[in-house]
A and B are shown apart, each in its own frame.
Chain A
Amino acid sequence: MNDLNVKSVSESGIEMKTEGNTIIFSGSINHPRPQVFMEPFMDAVHDNIVEKKIKEVNFDITDLRFLNSSGIREIVDWVLKMSKLPDSEKYMINFICSKQHKWQESSITTLIYLNQNYTNKVMKD
Chain B
Amino acid sequence: MGQSIAIKTERGVRLRSEAAYLDVAITRDWESIPLAMEFFTDFTILRMNNCEDTHKIGIAVSELLENAVKYSGKEIIRIKLNKAEKGNTITLHVINKTNKKHARRLIARIKELNSIDSLTYYIQRMKESIKNKEESAGLGLARVYHETEAKLSVRYFRLKKLVEVTATITLQNEEE
Report the minimum CB–CB distance from A83 to chain B (whole Å).
11
User: Size class of B's contact patch?
Assistant: 20 to 34
Quick one: closest B residue to A81, CB to CB? B130
- Please, how many angstroms separate the alpha-carbon atoms of A28 and B34 in the complex? 9
Q: Which of B58, B122, B142 contacts A103 (CB 8 A)?
A: B58
**Do the beta carbons of B147 and A72 come within 8 Å of each other?**
no
**Do the beta carbons of B126 and A76 come within 8 Å of each other?**
yes
Which residues of the other chain, B, contact A77 by a CB distance below 8 angstroms? 130, 133
Known: A30-B34, A69-B139, A76-B126. A103 touches B133 (CB 8 A): no
- Please, how many angstroms separate the alpha-carbon atoms of A73 and B119 in the complex? 16
**Do the beta carbons of A80 and B66 come within 8 Å of each other?**
no
Q: Which of B34, B58, B70, B139 contacts A72 (CB 8 A)?
A: B139
- Please, how many angstroms separate the alpha-carbon atoms of A52 and B97 in the complex? 51
Q: Is A117 an interface residue (CB 8 A)?
A: no
A3-18: CB near B (< 8 Å → 1, else 0) gives: 0000000000000000
Report the minimum CB–CB distance from A9 to chain B (whole Å).
18
Q: Is B106 an interface residue (CB 8 A)?
A: no
Which residues of the other chain, A, contact B14 by a CB distance below 8 angstroms? none
**Do the beta carbons of B139 and A110 come within 8 Å of each other?**
no
**Do the beta carbons of A103 and B59 come within 8 Å of each other?**
yes
**Do the beta carbons of B30 and A73 come within 8 Å of each other?**
no
B52-81: CB near A (< 8 Å → 1, else 0) gives: 110100110011001001100000000000
**Do the beta carbons of A68 and B66 come within 8 Å of each other?**
yes
- Please, how many angstroms separate the alpha-carbon atoms of A76 and B122 in the complex? 11
B53, B62, B123, B137: which has the most chain A beta carbons within 10 Å?
A: B137
Report the minimum CB–CB distance from A102 to chain B (whole Å).
4
Which residues of the other chain, A, contact B143 by a CB distance below 8 angstroms? 69, 72, 107
Q: Is A86 an interface residue (CB 8 A)?
A: no
List residues of A whose CB falls within 8 A of some B CB. 28, 30, 32, 35, 39, 66, 68-70, 72-73, 76-77, 80, 101-103, 106-107, 110-111, 113-114
List residues of B whose CB falls within 8 A of some A CB. 30, 33-34, 37, 52-53, 55, 58-59, 62-63, 66, 69-70, 119, 122-123, 126-127, 129-130, 133, 136-137, 139-140, 142-143, 146-147
Supplied contacts A32-B70, A72-B139, A72-B143, 15 more A-B pairs, CB within 8 Å? A39-B133, A68-B63, A69-B66, A70-B137, A73-B137, A73-B139, A76-B126, A102-B52, A102-B55, A106-B146, A107-B147, A110-B123, A110-B147, A111-B126, A113-B119
